Amino acid sequence: MPHLNDVVSEIAEEMRRRPDRGEVATYIPELARADRQAFGLAVIDADGNLAAAGDSETPFSVQSITKVFTLTLALGKIGDRLWQRVGREPSGNPFNSIVQLELEKGVPRNPFINAGAIAVTDAILSGHEPREALGEILRFLQFLAEDSTITIDERVAASEKRTGFRNVALANFMKSYGVLDNPVDYTLGVYFHHCAVAMSCRQLAMAGRFLAHSGRNPSTGLLVISPERARRINAIMLTCGHYDGSGDFAYRVGLPGKSGVGGGILAIAPGTASIAVWSPGLDAAGNSHLGRLALERLTKRMGWSIFGE
């Protein structure tokens, strides 16, 4: 078995030299400022050992990756009742599609497309003020990552709110079908802000550890969620975590994962490691181009694909 530190360093160097880097997201103006040359990779194994390379300590806008953590919180709050307002099937459509939502009477296909994540956010918000709900999400991330310095990038949140017309349309459409309980403005305010959380690859890999270890925080040995729920969240990450590129990611990488248009990907090697990669250039489906390539090489060299070596 090759040494993990060596593999991570080799992959970071290979990615640094590649000319094909994808295109940064421009529909959120603040994200357009990201450095296309940036690349970071962090892997944390079951013993808490960190293998990292590149820009692994640079905070970036994690965007949709927070949907993994809001899903975890919402399931903790209302359990399987959540599935009455959001499905669990791959969408096969862009993450902000309204066509599918209309065909399916306002019920989003899964919790990782924008409409689904807005519905999940609404479930967390119920019974709280928006500020309280947002604080709960942020504290959960800080708790998982064991790092109280994780914050929300207010400039990104403001940029999303100024330009989030499609998300406003999705939310209002769901509200018309009774899928959202709270005022649309409140739900969207929390949604835009939790997508604007900034984390480094190391912090993100730390936060994802419980999903790699049957719901347990390996630092404390305490359960964050049940093993069954961890397994099911991983299943949804595998089938739905990369929008309409989810099948290709499963085919090439073979791990549960969740991407964000800030260029980050959280990937889970069950029983083995939590992995975070960041490269702001995206492919046509809105997933990190070099991030996916790096993960494909990592799983191949380490034999980590859930489908076999």
Q: Are 111 and 174 in contact (CB under 8 A)?
A: no
300 is catalytic: no
Q: Which residues of 66-83 are buried (b: 16+ CB within 10 A; e: fewer)?
A: bbbbbbbbbbeeeeeebe
251 is catalytic: no
Identity of the amino acid at 206: M
**Smallest Cα–Cα separation from 161: which of 133, 137, 194, 134?**
194
Identity of the amino acid at 242: H
191 is catalytic: yes
Choosing from 8, 159, 191, 253, which is the catalytic residue? Answer: 191
In three-state secondary structure terms, 242 is coil
214 is catalytic: no
Choosing from 7, 43, 67, 258, which is the catalytic residue? Answer: 67
Give CA–CA dist 215/211, Å, rounded.
Answer: 5
Q: Interior CA angle at 255 toward 254 and 258, to 5°?
A: 125
Choosing from 68, 86, 243, 277, which is the catalytic residue? Answer: 243
Which residue(s) pair with 42 in the sheet? 52, 276
Choosing from 24, 107, 184, 261, which is the catalytic residue? Answer: 261
| Side-by-side strand order, sheet with 60-61 | 60-61, 197-199, 151-152
* Helical (H) or strand (E) element with 278: strand 273-278
Q: Are 38 and 172 in contact (CB under 8 A)?
A: no
Residue 81 DSSP one-character state? G
User: Which structure tokens are listed for 171?
Assistant: 């939310």
64 is catalytic: yes
In three-state secondary structure terms, 198 is strand
End-to-end CA distance of the chain: 12
Choosing from 64, 97, 200, 246, which is the catalytic residue? Answer: 64
User: Which structure tokens are listed for 234?
Assistant: 């991983």
Give CA–CA dist 161/236, Å, rounded.
Answer: 27
Give CA–CA dist 38/169, Å, rounded.
Answer: 33
Task: Show which residues are catalytic.
Answer: 64, 67, 191, 243, 261
